[in-house]
Structure 1
Amino acid sequence: MKKIVVLGSTGTIGRGVLDIVRAFPHDFKVVGLTTNTNIKLLKEQAAEFKPLDTGIGEKDLMKIATMKEADIIIVAVVGLSGLLPTLAAIRNGKDIAIATKEVLVVAGELVMKEVKKYNVHIIPIDSEHSAIFQCLRSGEGKEVNKIILTMGKGKIAAMKKEDLSSVTLEQITDRSVWKMGDKITIDSATCLNKSFEVIEARWLFDIKPSKIHIVVHPEYICHSMAEFVDGSIISEMGTPDMKRYIQFALFYPERKKMCVTQGIDITDKTLSFEKAPYDKFPGLKLGFDAIKKGGTMPAVMHGADESAVQAFLLKKITFVDISLIIQKTMKAHKVIQNPTLDKIISAEKWGQAYAKKLIDKKI
């Protein structure tokens, strides 16, 4: 029986994890749960799963992340609050199932060094990275020619470039697939989320940026691919349901029959792929720019995005201003190479502050 801790058990991913535990009660034991603010739901979860300990707010994350009884820590908290607990869990020899993208976006190089040092596994829950993780099991690292991240094509992507400045939050959140919170939905619309995924992939799979490619896949059936040196392309396909990826991460390296979501009938399905819209969405290039500069640049990019998205939500800036603010913030930053954790966190805060200045000055 695998003993698990869920950091962020009351969020979407955390609740999905507990759905899997309910479906496989003889395979998992919940030993720790945390929430940021949803205390009522945490109490209900604790009554049902009877963990050894629970935590509320960032102050308790470290304590729960380092529980000696745990085999695997599911990191599903919001934002940078997941960084220090993830590092602490790794240093305590715990395997990590990670859904909090900020951990690898902001400090991916540092985190992966610790993963190797302490000889633990880090299994992605994010759909594209889980897909690639699974595809790469078909060969060795030296046999990989490139990895191919897929991105969808929603209503915003179908708009003309000249119409993007008038895009509203209501238009962005009107999605038929992958229902998410406002922040990640906006990042998906600007393509910043895909840029973050490029940074994650760089460190998670220890792959050169030149070997990371992006294609548009409107049907949301293929969730990413890996091409090997012999020309073979391995893809991961299935229903766009995060519970598939959560289950894979929890059972890794085993597989079990899925019983909490439906499979997909590929009969009569169409698969199409298009070139990534770099010209229409400049945010799509920023992840490559960040990892090319290296050091503290990914942290600055993330910080600037935090401020820009918040300003858009407050209707202080337009949709197209988001990427522009991030670009200008990155251009102004003097990169620190091989940064310490403190330098990384400081750089992220600097990115937030500089972007806010641009916003206040009306860019």
Structure 2
Amino acid sequence: MDCVGNTTIREERLLFHPSLLAVPNSYSLCKGCNKLIKKNCRLNGEKKKLGCSRVLFLTATTTTTGGKNQLSPVAPIQTKALNENRVHKKIVILGSTGSIGTQTLEIVDTCPENFQVVGLACGGSQLDIFVSQIHKYRPKIVAISDSRKIQMLRDMLQDLDYDCQIGVGERGLVDCASFPESDLVVTGIVGCAGLIPTVAAIKAGKDICLANKETLIAGGPVIAPLVEKHRVHILPADSEHSAIFQCLQGVPGGALSKLILTASGGAFRDTPLEQLPYVTLKDALKHPNWNMGAKITIDSATLMNKGLEVIEAHFLFGTAYDNIQVVVHPQSIIHSMIELCDTSVIAQMGWPDMRLPLLYAMSWPCRLPLPFPSLDLVKVGTLSFKEPDRNKYPCLDLAYGAGKRGGTMPAVLNAANEEAVYRFRNEEISYLEISKVIEYVMDRHENGLFIEQPSLEDILDADQWARKTAREFSPQLPFVMKHSTKAAGK
């Protein structure tokens, strides 16, 4: 606590809910799980005893004068109730050899006193990297999803000088995700393959650092009630949703009017529409701002990445699709914004570096110092915005349509997109045919296969059906040679 005169300033927690605010009288830190324990919490006038807080709560600054709490007129005052000394989390990383996984491990290297790696999992395509990670971080459990690589992994770990549990396949990923000793699971597996391990982690009571957006896009109808049932935190780790999450801190329930997601515009932001038939895979992988994996970089080029984030934002923040806006922001300095009921707009800014939202999700509700360069707005100079060109980015409208349709349609959209991007990366289809594949699959699914209130099994079945159907799509546009001199920027 910090004292100002006779007034004690302290941090309280507000439960963010569309219809109510819960203001605890006091809290303490649970030594067992490092979470806030709330006591004598009042919800709608009813006194409840709560154990470890397992709800998404926001921060407000309050004053205590004469034993009574009231909102502080001098907010914001920085308190020291929660600081870096309170952060020590045991983490499991799903997808440790990918872009998200390796950047998460960079954070662990920077903050070794705050994070301990107890579990690692990967697909199996980069075993050399995976083995070096195991030797360096000495996790207690590891897993690979590719069963064909398990013997090779065991052979490569023969000289390991400690006991480590090794799993394989879906069962191995589930065991890793639900490992009893972990506090937090970082979901960096690309695509719908991360859905079942994430469900297992939630059921095991683990907080989720969500970098796998497909978990909510495909499984939103199933994930949302599970999160409520098991009282876990879903902490967004991508830049846009992390920005919204940060902007919402201290915003009272009912005050949110609109979410504004920013998009860089991707590799073809400045490419004329008439040149898009000639762009190549190499062109699509040249993201102007972010350092990301190949699949998400292509999704950024089509703006499907932003469309998927719209669906994710709907499930994360309970916002109607008509109240989620996408704007192209070429500088990628403002990562997203919120508009409040009084028309005020709050934005979160920073250099385009995925480690920042990852760190915030990993360390929440605290903030940890990092030796990164500060944002210099004078050097940035200009921040510009424009509406996305719907003719250039048809995938954005497909995503809005799937989200509004709900049910199994977002899962179908996601699976069809994954297969279309895979075929584009293998040069089986052209860049413009990515959206054609997705539209074809969605139209087929609407015709008698759509399920409005799906189970997890229904979602997984829809995912597999969509992948198979996407593979059946025959290219209609003339195939463009990968070395075409007409490609964008040539």
> Normalization by structure 1: what TM-score?
0.95
Match of 1:39 in 2: 127
* 1:336-355 paired onto structure 2 within 5 Å: 336-355=451-470
Between the aligned partners of 1:135 and 1:147, the Cα distance in structure 2 is: 10
Match of 2:109 among 10, 15, 22: 22
Q: Does 1:251 align with 2:366?
A: no
Query: Residue 268 of structure 2: SS of its match in structure 1?
Result: coil
Matched-pair contact (CA < 8 Å) for 2:433–2:475? no
Q: Does 1:49 align with 2:137?
A: yes
* 1:1-363 paired onto structure 2 within 5 Å: 1-37=88-124, 38-57=126-145, 58-59=169-170, 60-259=172-371, 261-268=372-379, 269-334=381-446, 335-359=450-474
Between the aligned partners of 2:190 and 2:395, the Cα distance in structure 1 is: 22
Matched-pair contact (CA < 8 Å) for 2:92–2:120? yes
> Which stretch of structure 1 is more off in the superposition, 151-160 or 120-129?
151-160
Does the C-alpha gap of structure 1 residues 351 and 144 become closer, same or farther in structure 2, counting only changes over 3 Å?
same
Between the aligned partners of 2:437 and 2:137, the Cα distance in structure 1 is: 45
Displacement of 1:63 after TM fit? Answer: 0.8
Displacement of 1:138 after TM fit? Answer: 3.7
Displacement of 1:163 after TM fit? Answer: 1.9
Between the aligned partners of 1:69 and 1:118, the Cα distance in structure 2 is: 17
Task: Judging by fraction of residues, say which structure has more helix.
Answer: 1
Displacement of 1:257 after TM fit? Answer: 1.0
Does the C-alpha gap of structure 1 residues 264 and 96 become closer, same or farther in structure 2, counting only changes over 3 Å?
same
Q: Which has the larger radius of gyration?
A: 2
Between the aligned partners of 1:226 and 1:294, the Cα distance in structure 2 is: 24
Between the aligned partners of 2:336 and 2:236, the Cα distance in structure 1 is: 13
Identify unmatched segments of 5+ residues in structure 2: 1-87, 146-168, 479-490
Between the aligned partners of 1:226 and 1:121, the Cα distance in structure 2 is: 21
Aligned Cα root-mean-square deviation (Å) = 1.7
Displacement of 1:45 after TM fit? Answer: 2.1
Displacement of 1:240 after TM fit? Answer: 0.4
Displacement of 1:93 after TM fit? Answer: 0.7
Between the aligned partners of 1:64 and 1:91, the Cα distance in structure 2 is: 13
Does the C-alpha gap of structure 1 residues 172 and 361 become closer, same or farther in structure 2, counting only changes over 3 Å?
closer
Query: What are the superposed Cα offsets for residues 78-97 of structure 1, whole Å, 9 maximum, x if unpaired?
Result: 22221111111101111000
Count of residues in correspondence between the two structures: 362
> Normalization by structure 2: what TM-score?
0.71
Query: What are the superposed Cα offsets for residues 94-150 of structure 1, whole Å, 9 maximum, x if unpaired?
Result: 100011121111112211221111111011111111111111114134111000000
Matched-pair contact (CA < 8 Å) for 2:191–2:418? no
Does the C-alpha gap of structure 1 residues 17 and 63 become closer, same or farther in structure 2, counting only changes over 3 Å?
same
Matched-pair contact (CA < 8 Å) for 2:267–2:300? no
Displacement of 1:219 after TM fit? Answer: 0.9
